[in-house]
Amino acid sequence: MNNLLLKQDLSTQELAIVNSEMNNKQKSKGIAYLIWFFFGGIGGHRYYAGDIGMGIAMTLTLGGLGFWALIDVFFIGKRIERKNEELEQNIIMNVKSFNKN
């Protein structure tokens, strides 16, 4: 579901809480690319994004002998965007459920 639609029925205070939590928890594309540059061969960027299983697989195969790590550079940005959207959606749902009670 689109996060903008979920935010529509939030009060100003609830929106401030969501924004504050997002600022504290969101992942940075720049940091992900830096981690990829230095630790891409062992899947460091995957661990950062929360993809632990894929990180372990990359560590065990040394980034698919480098090929997997090289291909990942084109997908890191989109993956971090998706992770941040999921995180924001979870925060919005938590704020809504907390205020229902």
Question: How confident is the model over 41-97, as pLDDT tens digits?
Answer: 999 999 999 999 999 999 999 988 989 999 999 999 999 999 999 999 999 999 888
Query: What distances in angstroms separate CA 30 from CA 3, 37, 62, one per listed residue?
Result: 23, 11, 22
Structure pTM? 0.86
Token pair of 65 as six digits: 């002998």
What is the C-alpha separation between 21 and 12, in angstroms, rounded? 14
How confident is the model over 1-5, as a mean pLDDT?
78
The answer to whether residue 101 scores a pLDDT higher than 80 is no
Q: Could you give the angle at the alpha carbon of 42 between the alpha carbons of 48 and 27, nearest 5°?
A: 10
